[in-house]
Chain A
Amino acid sequence: GGIITQTPKFLIGQEGQKLTLKCQQNFNHDTMYWYRQDSGKGLRLIYYSITENDLQKGDLSEGYDASREKKSSFSLTVTSAQKNEMAVFLCASRKDSNERLFFGHGTKLSVL
């Protein structure tokens, strides 16, 4: 079995601050995803990556950067945190030959 680890679990930032969220997976999966989930709402795709050094924009990429420098890791940067913003950011991965998505437990972001 494998695991997806997201760090940090909780992130508190200031308005205008640049914040980075990290995701590591040891499944040796090819494709990784970053989603944003606001309270009581669905998951919105921010970025995904189908292989090392690849980046594809999702539906909500504005205001975010992402980086896939290694196959096992995918990081997300909030370029300028918005005041009173509160959301959970979920990382997921899957191997192209295997259709299941595996998710991490999420990073909960609060902006003061």
Chain B
Amino acid sequence: DAKTTQPDSMESTEGETVHLPCSHATISGNEYIYWYRQVPLQGPEYVTHGLQQNTTNSMAFLAIASDRKSSTLILPHVSLRDAAVYHCILRVGRQQGTGSKLSFGKGAKLTVSP
């Protein structure tokens, strides 16, 4: 799986809309972009994923650049509960064997102030 680059940390205030960037300049055509978040003392939790089109769900909006070399996770109106480490990872879709290998980087730590 190709590597991703994220900022080490970002700060925000409750009620703001937060844009978390992720760079994946060497992404392959069959790699999906996944976002997970992790709060202290727990394992990561799935947030969203996409291939080419922007996607939205109850947790976040994922904006994918037209060349797919970067993406942005957008969290509208953040609350204190959104404070977490956000991981952006890539995964080859629906392949057995080495395609099942999933690696996580350090992620980006989002701090939310009252």
Interface size class of A (residues with CB under 8 A): 20 to 34
> Among the listed A41, A44, A48, A103, which residue makes an inter-chain contact with B44, where contact means beta carbons less than 8 Å apart?
A103
Chain A to chain B contacts (Cβ below 8 Å), 13 pairs: A41-B106, A42-B105, A42-B106, A43-B44, A43-B104, A44-B104, A45-B101, A45-B103, A59-B103, A96-B100, A101-B36, A101-B44, A106-B43
- B-contact bits for A60-83, CB 8 A (1 contact / 0 none): 000000000000000000000000
Contacts of B88-114 to chain A: CB distance below 8 A: 91, 93-94, 96-98, 100-107
Digitize B39-79: 1 where CB-to-A-CB distance is under 8 Å, 0 elsewhere: 00111111001000000000000000000000000000000
Q: A68 to nearest B CB, angstroms?
A: 13
Provide the bound-state CA to CA distance between A59 and B104, in Å: 11
Q: How many of chain B's residues touch chain A, expressed as a range?
A: 20 to 34
What 6 pairs between A and B have smallest CB-CB spacing?
A: A103-B43, A43-B104, A42-B106, A42-B105, A100-B46, A90-B43
- Contact with A42, one of B42, B49, B101, B104 (Cβ below 8 angstroms): B104
Return chain B residues, CB-CB under 8 Å to A35.
Answer: 104
CB neighbours (8 Å) of B45 from chain A are: 103
Is B105 touching A106 in the complex (CB atoms < 8 A)?
no
